[in-house]
Each structure stands twice: as C-alpha cells, then as structure tokens.
Structure 1
C-alpha cells in the first residue's frame, strides 16, 4: 500500500512540475524528473535497437548529461560531516593486472641532484581503478585513417563528474546471510540479490518515479568483494588468478586459434553483476549517471549469455562504467554512520582521443 502511494505521489509530482520527459521528443531535457523506461525507448534513426543517445546530435557524454548544476547542488546536501573517503586503489594494485594489461611502472627522474626530482609513470589506465570509456570497443574511431575524438574521455573531463553516490554492499550482505562465493570465480549477482541487499540496508532500489529511493542521476556503487579477497590472497595466488587465460571471440583467424581453450588451464573468471533482463531493465530505468564496482569486470565474467552488459551500459546508453574501485573504507564509513548515500566526485584524465581513465575519485560524507 505504502509503495503504491509513494509511486503515485512521485508520478504526480513529475507531471505537476512539468518534469516528465516524452520518449519521442528529442533531444531530451537532462533536468527532467521522469524519463521513459527501457520498454518505452524511441527508435532512433540509424541507431541500434535499444539505443538511448537522446541528448542531442553531437552529444559526447551520454548519461553524464544528467549531472546538471541543479542535481549537483542537490547532491551536495549529502555532505553532513565533511569526512573524505578516497576511492582509488594504489596505482600498483593489482600488482599483476588481468586481461593481459601491463603492470604499473614508477621511475624517478633526477633533474638536479638534491634539488629537483620528477615522477615518471608507465600506466595502462585500465590496469587498476578505472573508468571504461564509450570508445572501449570501436576500433575505427580509435586507430587508423578514420581515428577521431568522438566520445573521447576528454569530453568527460571537460564536463566533470560530481553527484550523489549510493552504495549497495552485496559482499557484506552475502557474508551476513550465509551466501558463499569467491570473487575470483564466476558468480552472478542478480537483480533479486541486489533488491534484498538494498532492503537489508533500508534502501528501495527501484527508481524514485516508481516509488523507490533511486534518484535520476545517482551514481551506483556495488561492492562484490574483489578488493577484500585480493588482500586475503598471497602474491602468488593473486598473480595466478590474474594470469588465467582470457578467451574471447575474434574475427582475426590467428587470434581465434590462439584463444582455443586448454581444458587443463582454468579460464579467467570473476564475480559480478548477472547478465539478465531484470538487471538490464533496472540499470536502464533508474537513469544512473554512472555505475561503479570493485570487480575487474563489473559484470560476471565470462558471460554465459550472447551479450555483455558493457554493450548496453557503454555503447547503447552512454553510461560511464567504473571497475576495481576501492570501496572498503567507503563501506566501513557507511556502516558506521548508517548512511548509504554520499557526495562523490571524479576527475577523469583530460586526454583527447582517450579510451579510458584512472578515476581520481573521492566520496564525501
């Protein structure tokens, strides 16, 4: 009864304030309070089915458009005590990155002995705490004769990222409720799982327009246990886990042959969000400005479905996706204060043509 009343009130408020966004009216108004569901998405000429690049012809930032000055100002009300929680792993963690990515290398350059020293980094921006950019998988925009700056990470840097974060500590919920899984193994966290986790934290994870607690433009954080598990393992176990072979389909014949599975070699696996329609609908309909996890792949790896959630999140919707963020201190502070929402900022690297970025992220309570 209460949720039905809440839903009706939210809908009424949207209509009375003129904040309901028509699916057919393009471009959409980022400041609207209510947006079409995934099932109501318009068909955009020349775009794939289910595409939601609805913010204008030359839009480069996707759902970061939802982080309007109005929403950022409202999110600043989350700052109560001023306590600052960094969300970045050290640049050398994981020491051995997965997916064949290079290790972080730090060198000191001596400019003048005992007077001036410089840092020199060799850094794959996706080796640790990272943002996956929208150019993650479209080679023709990135290399070769047609390379360009379309959807480059520097557009995110120009816009800036700041808003209300909301944390779902699924790893803590699972341990408290006898749900056993290894973050270094394939395990899918379903929508039903997240819903129960939210309920345990006192959060209704439905969109505000449906009577829930998720506001348009929120930045979602999901703790699935990777960082805690990483620190429990020996260096040898961490390295072995990261170097498990990766098997991906490829159009390149030589690469395809090299990717033939060895039945005696364990495949690269991670726990993460489950590939299912309920999860896809939820991630879309909440209108998160971005989603973040502590796992190397955010979604369960490998996917048992003929798709990856990355395709929806990055390519179809233009929603930034963060991986391997350090959510340990954040979770501790959230539990101590019994507050699961907070103000969050991130400063992506201003690199024209960039595919991804380290996060440079901070939560403020």
Structure 2
C-alpha cells in the first residue's frame, strides 16, 4: 500500500534538510502532492518513511566526497581556461532559522539475543546502533588493523548465527553481506555493516511491531494478564512501567520547552500539611554540633515519612487489587520485607537510578473552575471528569504528546494555604480526609492511557477524588498496579500556574530526582519545571 509513494518520498528527502525534517513534515508534503489524506494509514506510512529515511541517510553518508584540494584545483582550472563575467552580487537573503526537531523514531521490539546486548526490550533503530557501538567499544571487540572488522564474543556470535547472505539486503549491499558472512564463518570476525544487518533483522520491523502502544480497549497484550493492565508490554522483568516512554529522543525534544530559563521548584514545604494526613509520622528535625562555638553542624530527620508531603507514589505503594499482585505480576511476598522472597522489584531506587526527565503539561483546572464552575470546592469530594479536562486543555491551547507528564492543578493547595490555621475546620478528620480530584472510572482510565502519559501528578494529596468509592477500581490500583504509572501528589504548582496564566505557556521541561533509597516505596520528587 505504501510502496507507491516511494518515489515521492525519495524526492522530498532529496531536497530536504535531513537534520530537521520530520516524518510529519514528509507525510504532510506527500498529502499535498497527492491530494490524498494519509490519516487512515498513518502508522504504516510513518514506519515506511522511517525505513526510506535510514536508507537515504546511509546513501548520503557513503556517497563520494570531493576533497578540499580537488575543489581548489577545479576552481583553478576553471579560472585559467574560461573567461567569466562577474554579475553584481544579489543581496544575501537571511536564512530562516528553523527549529531543529529530531525524528521521533518508533520503538521496536528487540529479539532476545539483541536485548541481551543492549539491555532493553524496546528500542529505536538509531539508538540500537548507538548502543551496539557502546557495547563493542566497552568490550574492545574492534580489530586493531581494521576498525570496521569486529571480533565476535559469545553474545555477538549468538546475534549473527542464523543470518544468511540473502538476509536484509535492503539494509546493506548483497556483496558486503556475502563477504562478511564468509569472514564470520571462517574466523569469527564480522564486518560492522553485516552486524547492522543482523541488528535490523533482530528488530521487529512489521507493522505490528512499531510499538504503537495498544489502546486501552486492546489491553492486555496477552490473555494471561489481568484485564486492562499493561503487564508485559515492556517485558515481564520491567521495573519502570510508563516511564519507559521517556526515550532519549523525547527528552531531547522536551528540552526545547526551555525558552527563558525560569525555574519552578515543585516540592512543597516538608512541614506541610499540618497536621500530617492519614496518621503518618511527622518529621522531626534536629541539629548535631560538629565542634565548639556552634560553627559547624549536621542535621537529622527523624520519623521521616516519604509520603507526608510532596511525593511520588512508587510502584510498591498500591497493588493491582483485583488480581492481588503488584505491577507486572510481582507477588506481595516479593515486596513485603522480612521474608525469603523479598527482592528489589518495583522499588523506588529503580526510578531514582533511571532519573525522570521529559515534557510536562499543566492543566489548571482550579483557575478554569473559578470561571466555569463557581460552586467548586477543592475540599469537597468532587469528581473532575475527562470532559472537563479536555475543556481546560482547549481553553489553554494545550495539545498532548506521547510521554508527557500530566500535572493537574485542582486548587487544593492554594486553598489550604489561603485558609491558614482555619484549614483544620475544612479538614475535620485528617486521618480520613476528603478532597476533589480526577474521577476514577473507565472513561478516565481510557483517556489517561490512550494519551500515553509517562506519569501523572496533582496539587492535592491523592490525584483522584477521595476517598475512592471502590479501591479495586481506583486510579491508584489501575495506574500503579495495572500500568506501572507513578502518581505525583501534593506537587507545589502555584508559582508555575501563576506564571503560565500570564504568558499562556503550559508546557515545560521537567526533571525529577527521587531519593535513591534501596527498596523504597515512595519519595519526595525533587522536581522542577523550566520554561
């Protein structure tokens, strides 16, 4: 179906700046040329464009390059053999500065032999080659006499075994593949181009593979998993869940949200809220003098509950309650402490050692409600629907991208600080508090998953309307236990929302460094947004 567009795509690439062109640019130009909408085959045409782009780029890189000396000699010959008439120089046009944007390469399923080398089950083609080079250099597998020739260790041997000389000739020439195969069989060496061939065949390039993530209604990916869970999508041993969506390409694109360099910390005071909710321990802070004269100190936090103030709920916080297991089928005995089955699965240190960075989007429901829902009270159990969130997004001019961190400002924290000491009247029972939040229901779950957010957060203490009417059908059970999606709570969004209301910019570069605590359940996010 897509093959008929090959000539058009190659012609577009021929005249394009390969450092800035995107699949979307190419697809839109193609639609303009043919007068046909390609939306119905968007996934297939994007993958097809990606294949042609790689081939085209390789041809550009391998095309003969004229040396500087040859260029100078050519100019000298022309000068001595021809008479040129100088024309008045035309005024130089200033080139438009185009914002460079990396192609958002699709994530592809990786075969077990390749996964063993690059240490991931999903990867884009450029990142796969990059990780292969890192592995090759780390283990010193290049020949000393010819850096293109690689000595195969056990893992590369397993990757290369079973690939014949007719395999993947569209990636490299038949001749190179044939020579390299003979070289490999004779001595255990292989040309790097042939290895690229083996790598490409180890990436599932079919239309089913280009991990276009399944929709909510297509979950789970295997009947052996509980309904509507994302178990197994990133491998059964995965500890990151939806944070896998924060690829290097998406993080790089997110950095372009930094325009003026203004920084907004998102941690609330560790002393807030007061009193602490849900009967959690209250932090006790003490100093320890290190010498005479009170000239040096250590300080110590006692009874520090990581969920008493601004926090990430990690994947150990709440299980998928209907199945009785945590994300990806992890048994409660693996999470609980003090037994033989205890291990490090899903603990907060995985998030900490990975780090979190990407594009964040703020939906300021609190400000929107002040104009459109005057009876709204963030201290009452009011359910915010996805229809309302869509209206907020339209009012702000916000569009979502895969891998976004969604932040919802309910107005709870602003009201908490505004009431001061009188807030105790609003939260009469701190051990069983109520508040407004996102409605926990099928429509919400479908909306959140189908937007493919990497994480969600809010300025209230539970993200969802609290208390849940059914914990088994709560956002906590669905997001944390079902999808491996972290939930941020009590994020300080006031200064950020105030600034965004002034300049109407609601997308940011977001970073978070959770505490690197082995086997932890939760952590302060130590998050910032940069505009």
Structure 2 length as normaliser, TM-score? 0.58
> In the alignment, which of 192, 197, 215 is matched to residue 37 of structure 1?
215
Listed as ranges, the matches of 1:1-365 within 5 Å are: 11=43, 14-16=46-48, 17=50, 29=122, 34-44=212-222, 46-53=224-231, 54-113=233-292, 114-122=294-302, 123-137=304-318, 139-140=332-333, 141-145=335-339, 146-203=341-398, 213-238=399-424, 241=427, 243-246=429-432, 268-305=433-470, 307-365=473-531
State the Cα distance separating 1:73 from its structure 2 match: 0.7
Q: Shift of residue 238 of structure 1?
A: 3.1
Q: Higher relative contact order at CA 8 Å, sep ≥6: structure 1 or structure 2?
A: 1
Structure 1 CA distance for aligned equivalents of residues 425 and 348 of structure 2:
30
**Structure 2: which 5+ runs fail to align?**
1-36, 52-104, 113-119, 125-209, 320-331
Question: What secondary structure, in the 3-state scheme, does the structure 1 residue paired with 2:251 have?
Answer: helix
Q: Secondary structure at the match of 1:233?
A: helix
Larger Rg: 2
What TM-score comes out, normalization by structure 1 length? Answer: 0.84
Cα drift, residue 14 of structure 1: 3.6
Report the alpha carbon displacement of residue 34 of structure 1 after superposing the two structures with TM: 3.3
Give secondary structure in 2 for the equivalent of 1:292: strand
Q: Is the 8 A contact 2:276 2:430 kept in 1?
A: no
Secondary structure at 2:122's aligned position in 1?
coil
Higher helix share: 2
* Contact 1:133–1:355 (CA under 8 A) maintained in structure 2: yes
Check 1:88–1:214 CA distance in 2 against 1; reply closer, same or farther (3 A cut): same
Between the aligned partners of 1:151 and 1:200, the Cα distance in structure 2 is: 38
Larger displacement relative to structure 2 (217-226 or 5-14): 5-14
Q: Is the 8 A contact 1:186 1:271 kept in 2?
A: yes
CA, structure 1 residues 178+283, in 2 after alignment: closer, same or farther (shift >3 Å)?
Answer: closer
Contact 2:406/2:453 (CA < 8 Å) preserved in 1?
yes
Task: Summarize the Cα distance change of 1:231–1:147 in structure 2 as closer, same or farther, 3 Å threshold.
Answer: same
Aligned equivalents of 2:279 and 2:444: distance in 1? 28
Unaligned runs of 5+ in 1: 204-212, 247-267
More strand by share: 1
Question: Does the CA-based 8 Å contact 2:275-2:430 persist in structure 1?
Answer: no
Indicate conservation of the 8 Å contact 2:348/2:523, yes or no.
yes
Per-residue Cα deviation, 1:244-264 (whole angstroms, up to 9, x for no partner): 443xxxxxxxxxxxxxxxxxx
